[in-house]
Structure 1
Amino acid sequence: MTNQAEITVDTPDDERSKEVRSGRLKRFLENGTPYWFLSPYIIIFGTFGIFPVFFMIFLSFHTWNPVAGLGSMRFVGLENYALSLTDPRLWKTMWNTIAIAVMSGLAQHLVALPMAYLLISLGARARHWLSTAYFLPYVTSTVAVSMIFYIMYSPQSGIINQGLNLLANGTLTSWAFGWIGQFQPIGWLQENSLIRYSISFVVFWKYVGFNIVIYAAGLSTINQELYEAAKIDGASHMQRFRYVALPLLKPFIFFAVTLTIIGNMQLFDEPYVLTRGLQQATSNGMTISNYLYRIGWEWLDMGSAAAVSWILFVVIALFTGLYFWLFGRQGLGGNE
C-alpha cells in the first residue's frame, strides 16, 4: 500500500485570515514599540515603587520578624494600628517631629525671603556667586553635614563651647558674656532642653539655601517696572518688598512651604547621625521616622513599623491638606 502525499491548497478565506493576523501582529508591534522601550523603567518602578507600597499595606495587618523568614508572618488585623496609636512613645516622637519641623521650617522661610530679595538687589555677578554659596549646604551629604555639627556640638572640644568660653573669659567680653561660664560645658545634644534646638539649627542651615534659590528665581520673574513705579510713588525698599514682591511670590512661597512640610515631617538623617544612631538619643531628640526605624530594625517588628509608617503618611497628608485648604487658592494664583 503506497502512501500518497497530501497536498493542501489555501482557500481565499485562509489567506484572508492570515493577512488579518499578520496585520494585527504588525499593528501590535508598531503600537507597542514605545512600551517596549519603557519596559525596563516600568519593571523597575513596579518592583521598587509600586510593590513596596502594597506590601506595606499588607504587612501592616500582620506581625513579622524578618529574621525568621516569611513563614513567621501572622495576621493580626488592626492590632498593630491599635497598639501604635495607644503607644505614648509614638505621640512623643510625633510632637518632637512637629516641634523640630516648625522651628527649622519657619526660620528657613523667614530668613530665605529677605535674603533672596537682597540677592536680587545685588549685581548679577555677586548674585550668582552668593546663590551658589548658599546652595552648597543643600547639595552636601547630609551625613557629612551632621557629623561636622556633631563635632562642633561636642561639650568638651566642640568649637561652639570653645567660642563661648573665649567670650566668657575674654578681657573685653567677660562683662557681657561672663554668665555663660556657669553653664559650661553645655550638652547641646545631651540635654533634653537643648537637643531640639540643636537639630533644628542643623536642618535650618542645610535647607535655607534651597529656599533662597527658589525665592530668588521667583523674584527674578517680577517685572522691574513694578519696582520703579512703586519707587516713584515714594515706596521704600521695605515697602517695595512687602507690597510688590511678597504678593507676587505667593506661588513660590506655597511651593517652598509645601516641600518644607513634607520634608520636615519625614526628618530622619540629621537626628539619627547627631544622636549616633539613636544610642545617645534623649526623649526630645527622636523623630517619628527614627522611632519607626527602631521598631523595624532594632526590635524586628516589621508589622508595627509598617503601621507607624502609614500613620505618618496620614499625618503628613492631613498637614499638607490643611495647608492647601488655607493657602492653596492664593498660592496657586487663584482669586482670594
Structure 2
Amino acid sequence: MSYRLPARPRARFSYTRWQQRFAPYLFVSPFFILFLVFALFPLLFSLYLAFHLWSPLDGLGNWKFVGFENFALALGAQDLFWQTLKNTVWIGLLAGVPQHLVALPLAFVIHQSLRRYQSTLSTILFLPYITNAVAIAIVFATLYSERLGLLNYARGAFGLDPVRWLGDPGMVPYSVAAVVFWRYLGWNVVLYLSGLQAISEDVYEAATVDGAGRWQQFWYITLPLLRPMMFYAFTLTIVGNMQLFEEPFMLLNDGGGSGGAGLTTAMHIFNTAFRDLDLGYASAMSWLLFLAIFALSMVNNLLFSRGGER
C-alpha cells in the first residue's frame, strides 16, 4: 500500500504581502524609467556618437566609425573649439569672480545689520534668477542699444561718446558678463545667507566680548565657517558659467556677436549639432567640455581642501 503525501495548499494571493514586496518598486519605477530614457540613454548615445560621423538626416544606423577623429578635429589649432572655450572662461571669470566678491559681503551685512528686512531683500535679490531669459535679453538689449539705449543716453548726458556694447568685440564679453552677474548675484546671496544662518550666534557674541570688530569677525569667523558653502557656491558657478548659453544666445544670436567674441562653447556645440547637423562632432565637443568642467572643479576642490580632504 503506497503512501501519498498530502498536496501542498495553494498559496493564496495576499494584497498586503504584494503591497509590501512589490509596491515600493512600482512607485519608484517612474523615476528610473524617466532617468533611463531622458538621462542615461542620451548620455551613452552621445558617447557612442562621439566616435562616429553621423547626421540625423541619414537615419538611424547610418553612422560611420571614425575613432578619435572628432576629438582630434576639435583639439586642432584651426577649430573654433579653443576660441569658444577661451571666450567661455573669460566671460565666466568676468561674471563669476565679482558675483562672489559682492555676494558674500552683502549677505554678511544683511545677516548682521539688516536682519529685519532679510526676507524682503532676499526676495528682491532672487527675482532676477527666476526671471525669464527672453525678458532679460529684451531689457538688456534695449539698455545696450547704440542709439536709443539708456546707457549711451547717460553717457551722452556727460558729454561722452556712445559705446557699441554689443557691436564692439572688445566690449561684448563685458556686456554679457554684466547680464550674468546681475542674474545670478541674488542666487549666491541666498546661498551665503543660508550658510550664515547655520553659524551659531554664540560664536559672534564670544568674539564681541573678546573685543573683535565686524571686520575681524567676518575674516576670522565667518569665512572659515562658510568654507563648505563657499565650495558649493563656487562649484555651481564654475559648472554654470562653463555651460553658458542663454544670455549670449539671446543677446547676440547664434553667431556670438561681432567677431564671435561672445560665442561660448555651448553655443558652438548647439550650432554644430542643430545647424550643421554634425552630431558626432558636437558629441565629441560636449565630452571635451565635460572634461574641462571636471578639471576646473577638481582645481576648485584642491583650493578649498585642507590636508587633502574637503
TM over 0.5: yes
Aligned to 2:123: 132
Match of 1:205 among 165, 182, 194: 182
Match of 2:48 among 36, 55, 58: 58
Match of 1:304 among 281, 285, 290: 281
Aligned to 2:92: 101
Match of 1:42 among 32, 51, 61: 32
1:317 is displaced (CA, Å) by: 0.6
Q: Does 1:118 align with 2:95?
A: no
1:309 is displaced (CA, Å) by: 0.2
Partner amino acid, structure 2, of 1:36: L
Q: Specify whether residues 227 and 79 from structure 1 end up closer, same or farther in structure 2 by C-alpha distance, changes over 3 A only.
A: same
1:38 is displaced (CA, Å) by: 1.7
State whether residues 169 and 257 of structure 2, in contact with CA within 8 Å, keep that contact through their aligned partners in structure 1.
no
State whether residues 195 and 285 of structure 1, in contact with CA within 8 Å, keep that contact through their aligned partners in structure 2.
yes
Determine the C-alpha separation between the residues in 2 that align with 1:24 and 1:324.
52
Q: Specify whether residues 80 and 17 from structure 1 end up closer, same or farther in structure 2 by C-alpha distance, changes over 3 A only.
A: farther
Determine the C-alpha separation between the residues in 1 that align with 2:266 and 2:82.
12
Q: Specify whether residues 119 and 331 from structure 1 end up closer, same or farther in structure 2 by C-alpha distance, changes over 3 A only.
A: farther
* Residue ranges of structure 1 left out of the alignment (5+ in a row): 1-10, 169-179
Aligned to 1:7: none
Aligned to 2:59: 69
State whether residues 250 and 331 of structure 1, in contact with CA within 8 Å, keep that contact through their aligned partners in structure 2.
no
Partner amino acid, structure 1, of 2:39: G
Q: Deviations over 1:105-154 (max 9, x none)?
A: 10000000110011012343311111111111111112221221112111
Partner amino acid, structure 2, of 1:61: F
Aligned to 1:176: none
1:245 is displaced (CA, Å) by: 1.1
State whether residues 138 and 207 of structure 1, in contact with CA within 8 Å, keep that contact through their aligned partners in structure 2.
yes
* Residue ranges of structure 2 left out of the alignment (5+ in a row): none
Aligned to 1:166: 157
State whether residues 151 and 158 of structure 1, in contact with CA within 8 Å, keep that contact through their aligned partners in structure 2.
yes
Partner amino acid, structure 2, of 1:210: W
Q: Which moved more, 1:117-126 or 1:210-219?
A: 117-126
> 1:1-336 maps to which residues of 2 (within 5 A)?
12=5, 15-16=7-8, 19=11, 30-86=20-76, 87-168=78-159, 180-181=160-161, 184=162, 186-278=163-255, 280-329=257-306
State whether residues 196 and 226 of structure 2, in contact with CA within 8 Å, keep that contact through their aligned partners in structure 1.
yes
Determine the C-alpha separation between the residues in 1 that align with 2:33 and 2:23.
16
Determine the C-alpha separation between the residues in 2 that align with 1:120 and 1:72.
60
Partner amino acid, structure 2, of 1:16: R
Determine the C-alpha separation between the residues in 1 that align with 2:16 and 2:106.
60
Determine the C-alpha separation between the residues in 1 that align with 2:112 and 2:249.
39
1:167 is displaced (CA, Å) by: 2.2
Aligned CA RMSD, in angstroms, stands at: 2.3
Determine the C-alpha separation between the residues in 1 that align with 2:295 and 2:218.
32
1:329 is displaced (CA, Å) by: 4.0
Determine the C-alpha separation between the residues in 2 that align with 1:261 and 1:330.
23
Percent identity of equivalent pairs: 40
State whether residues 155 and 187 of structure 1, in contact with CA within 8 Å, keep that contact through their aligned partners in structure 2.
yes
1:187 is displaced (CA, Å) by: 0.9
